[in-house]
Amino acid sequence: MKHVLKSIFLGSLAILAFACKTEEAAKTAERPNIIFIMSDDHAYQAISAYDNTLIETPNIDRIAKMGMLFTNASVTNSICAPSRATILTGKHSHINGKVDNHFPFDTTNVTFPQILQDAGYQTAMFGKLHFGNSPKGFDQFKILPGQGAYYNPDFITKNEGNIKVEGYVTDIITDMTLDWLQYERKADQPFMLMYLHKAPHREWLPAERHIEEFTNRTFKEPATLFDDYSGRGRAAHEAEMNLLEDMNWSGDSKVYPEVMDELGIPETSDWDKGAFEREVGRMNEAQRANWDKAYMKVNEDFKKAYPTMTEKDKMKWRYQRYMQDYLGTIKAVDENVGRVLDYLEANNLMENTIIVYTSDQGFYLGEHGWFDKRFVYNESFKTPLLMAWPGKVKAGTKSDEMVQNLDFAQTFLAAAGIEAPADMQGESLLPLLMGETDKWTREAVYYHYYEYPSVHMVKRHYAIITKEYKLVHYYFDNDEWELIDRKKDPMEMTNVYDDPAYAEIRADLHKQLDGLREKYGDSSELSQEYIDKYLDYLEENNSSAGGKNTELIDKIFEDRKKK
């Protein structure tokens, strides 16, 4: 009898244990997979779900058709590495330490991939991280060193050391991603996959298959291509992002060095010296032959036209060259996003998978005569954000709420049923995704850009942005305020800060801005600390800071000595 009771007791324990495991497995199965797709410097105006004036991106658009398109998504700091640090930590730059591309990331920060990994997620990263060579919280990674290369790129890998892979970077990153999904993904675990493209980062090298098509296309010019900045202050006037004056002829516009010499065109910057060979020199013989077939024609046509070109003609030519290469790289991104979406559909992985497409910031595509990013003006500050979760998020929906890259970490943790650490500063996007807009309370976001004096010479500034207005403070090397009416002035051409008609609005925005700075723990004292550390670094290393306006940079240091 004792043996029978013992058997019954042990059997009951086994059944109970099995039931617990089954319940745990069910909970695990309910947790969504997460695929985070991010490109580098992909302007929202170069995605046809937002605007099909420049290019059609049918595969990226598929994500919006399956889910939600955000029209007011933005960054906290429009520059590559700081944006990525904010995404991983859910914290503003002054908290995670990565305020610019110089200052190091504070590695004591806990990232959302670490938290997901600890909670049972299988994690992987492929492509461009841009800071650090050993990302924390990943079971597998293969990442580009620094900016990476478009052709025959090198990779830092978790298991194979440093490797070089023949081919085009966008295709290779996708191959790695699909190989992991096919051969390393564990079917009994939820996964979080970061699929990160180098494209369309400068300098822009399209895939061989797209060169001929795009070098023969002509694109519509933006209305503000010849902006003279008369409606704004020193910051816009002194920035070094002009297509004609500041873009490299060789590395950016693909004018061969020997053609530059023949036409007497000087290098735009120290970086321009050798920029062409740095990139094109990586190609194998077949790749270089395909490249030269198209770009020699571009150069021959330019040689004939250049002697009679006016400055306006040159600006127009450089805009077209910029768009041909920039958009050419995006064509490959869209194709490869399609490959991943097709795999998910073919392998029944769509239903319980959150799919995100975004960029680490926006980018100027000739608006205000500029390329690059950094400013809080729309083309730089706003980012594309398309999110799908089939069965959970209603297809074909839109949101104009003020969301930021600060919110990704908390969103993914909330979707996985994990409580976010108290020091994360974002907000979960789940209420918006689920149509529960009454639970969304944020009306304004905070922005802070730090990297000055430096390349492109965009002055340090912080801002509050609502759906209707932007209040911006340029606080170093000048003391200027800008107020932009986003509804009446969508191209952001006029500063109305001193307009009496906006006095009440200005006062209210100042109060809101003070409140946001207090909420997020930012202050003038902290900003000054970062200024001092950065200037100390430049002096200790005898650095030119990267800007061309040496008189302005010298004045900054002279004023510092006087203080």
Encode pLDDT of 21-62 as tens digits: 434 444 445 899 999 999 999 999 999 999 999 999 999 999
Q: What would the pLDDT profile of 183-234 be if each residue is shown by its tens digit?
A: 999 999 999 999 999 999 999 999 999 999 999 999 999 999 999 999 999 9
Query: Where do we find the tokens 């490249």?
Result: 291
Q: Residue 9 pLDDT more than 70?
A: no
How many angstroms separate the first and last alpha carbons of the chain? 93
Contact criterion met (CB below 8 Å) for 47 and 61: yes
- Split at pLDDT 50, 70, 90, the class of 134 is confident
What the chain holds in terms of domains, given with CATH numbers, is 30-204+324-435 (3.40.720.10), 230-322 (no CATH), 449-562 (3.30.1120.10)
Contact criterion met (CB below 8 Å) for 453 and 477: yes
Q: What would the pLDDT profile of 61-77 be if each residue is shown by its tens digit?
A: 999 999 999 999 999 99
Query: Where do we find the tokens 């590395």?
Result: 251
Structure tokens at 336: 């490869």
Distance CA 380, CA 362 (A): 4
Q: What would the pLDDT profile of 364-411 be if each residue is shown by its tens digit?
A: 999 999 999 999 999 999 999 999 999 999 999 999 999 999 999 999
Contact criterion met (CB below 8 Å) for 152 and 127: no
Q: What would the pLDDT profile of 233-272 be if each residue is shown by its tens digit?
A: 999 999 999 999 999 999 999 999 999 999 999 987 777 7
pTM more than 0.75: yes
Q: Which of 106, 152, 110, 161 is nearest to 133 (CA)?
A: 161
Distance CA 493, CA 394 (A): 37
| pLDDT at residue 21 in the model | 40
Mean of the per-residue pLDDT values of the chain: 93
| pLDDT at residue 562 in the model | 84
Structure tokens at 208: 């061989």
Q: Where are the beta strands (DSSP E) in 186-296?
A: 191-196
| pLDDT at residue 3 in the model | 46
- Split at pLDDT 50, 70, 90, the class of 14 is very low
Contacts (Cβ under 8 Å, ≥6 apart) of 459 = 234, 235, 238, 239, 452, 474, 476, 477, 478
Cα dist from 101 to 212, 311, 463, whole Å:
34, 33, 20
The strand pairing partners of 476, in sequence order, are: none
